[in-house]
Chain A
Amino acid sequence: MWAFFHKLGSPRWFYGIAARLSPWCWALALALILIGSVWGLAFAPADYQQGNSFRIIYVHVPAAFLAQSIFMALAASGFVFMVWKIKIADMAAAMMAPLGAAMTAIALLSGSVWGKPTWGTWWQWDARLTSMLILLFLYLGVMLIRRAFARPQSGAKAASVLAMVGVINIPIIKYSVEWWNTLHQPASFTITERPAMPLEMWMPLLIMVLGFYAFFAAFTLTRTRTEILRREGHKRWVKELFEERP
């Protein structure tokens, strides 16, 4: 178990395994997002209350899921990096953070254009929306603090700590719709509260969610390989690798 853990932490080993895994992840993401998009946009039936605006759910919910999952991944990577000094955890965290920030922005934007026809407003300072906006600021903080130090090692530690502290916002986002009265819960989730959401409606959503997670995996694997070359370019194994296959 520990041997496996440390092997996984070795950039050289990760570089190889990520090379084998990433094409499958990209292909899976492309297939799932393509199928989910066509199904969600053209084939899923319109909602009986919201009409066609509910089709925004197929991008809004996967983006919001990823936004929160990636922040939890940042906190977990930060923990692994701080406790076991595993560099690959920090590299992956640095590479995935911008995707998390972008997904938060997409969740906010798609929620906003969904809110207009559904609630009659683009924005409301309610608990769910505000806590998601805070998540965006936390992402920006984690990304910026990394670059705020002369020594990269100090930036990596600061980013890890901020991610571990900031992750407290995730349960707040999750329970915001239960703890406070918000616009979000009654208006947007009537669809899921219906006892039987038809399969033609939830299946494309499931496919899109899985597609987004596959995209996240592919994105992180590919970018972490690039980051390994950037940081470990002077190592002998990298030189040998490039001499074999220039």
Chain B
Amino acid sequence: MPDPIFEARNISKRFGPVRALNEVSIAIGAGELHSIIGENGAGKSTLMNIFCGRLRPDTGALLIDRQPVHFSSPKQAAAAGIAIAPQEINLVPALSVAENIMLGAQIGARICGGAVIDWKATRAEAIRHLHEVDDQIDPASRVGDLSKAQQQLVQIARAAATDARILILDEPTATLTHRETARLFDYIRSFKARGHSIFYISHRLDEVKALSDRITVLRDGALAGTLDPATATREEMVTLMAGRPPSAMRQEPRRIPGDAPVVLKVTGLTRPGEFQDLSFSLRKGEILGVSGLIGSGRTEMAKCLFGLTRATAGEIEYFGQKTRFTSPLQAIQAGLIYLPEERKQEGIFPLLSIVENAAMPSMARFRGLLAMRNREMLAEVMDYIALLKTRIGSPRDAITTLSGGNQQKVIIARWLMRDAKVLIMDEPTRGIDVNAKFEIQAVLRRLTEERGLSIILISSEMEEVLDVADRILVMHEGRARGIVDAAGESQESLLKLAMT
């Protein structure tokens, strides 16, 4: 191993009762690409946020060239040569690409001590950094007008523009096309060739294996192991990440009988700019997985089915009836429910209790003469809480006392109480730890079998779709690339279907 230029020793970090990182030690050498892999919630982002000065560790030390350093702001980390291109887009949409790249680092003209910006030099510098990463983006266009993938690339150029010698790339390829990915990898190689180092975070294990000099696996905030990319197999990586072999967490493949009634039939559904000519059907008791990258139109399709947006063409048949929901209320009344991706922002009422969160849309049923029939409401909520094996303290506790997985179950209970017939779930297990994820997947299976629920499961994790779904709709750039039986497909075959 080369001499480390950056080292983290025994880093621990708590958020309230949650131990996000526990005694994690990691080092990186000059010219090295060190991949950090782990499930959602394993602590990767927390660790990277500590490296780049956004968070401070509770205990532990950071060392650069063997000298201890303390970052109290991202600016200090940047000054020490560490820059991050975070996974979430963090740009100013109203400003131009060039200005975003040079934000806070504009080149000053010689007058007024650099307070006045030398636009010509600033733009030239921005373009130089942008072209290292991508040469298709117009530096003068507004960031808000770019695609998600292009914004991701601008963000990487932004990080590169700080002249960092350690770059943290958090899921850089999640939204990129093949061409953009290849181009990015070229940049990564040239960056390494200059003797600089990269911490690389990705869910794409084949990518990790191909690029890395070293792989570190995090699980539940602690080091789970270090792997040599030359010899490590995918199976080994997954086993280390999950804490048990992948085969132990699979749902049994099953086949929905061909005579099961079709509950939802979509033909030629189109909303320009979002999705084109989508056709599929959903049977009673079936789970239809929807696979595709962010920006493939999956969420847009779900919002349209739910009545949040209007399609310009196409037909929707719901239980044999031609339907076009014009508002979420209509869809909910008909039993078609959409569970949004941003659970925190769009799903829960953080100030209210578990009971209230579960019963919110069903309140009308518990109306008494003068007051709510609270006891009945509580009893019914508890039935569903038990059915879904939700672990709660008191049902009167605030919903925010629960873990992400249990919150998700409360939300599922909410819609079961409203007599849901079709659930559209958008990334239901994102940000939930491995075991809770497995439990939710099992619950979804059980609901389809015991209650005849039909589910459309939207997920970026191909593994999840392959495990849970009966059939898979593969989407790319707003179009359906095919519908396949989940049994007999692999991540590779799905990717191939999406990209070709």
Q: Are the chains A and B members of one assembly? A: no
Binding site for A on B (CB under 8 A): none
Identify the A interface with B (CB < 8 A): none
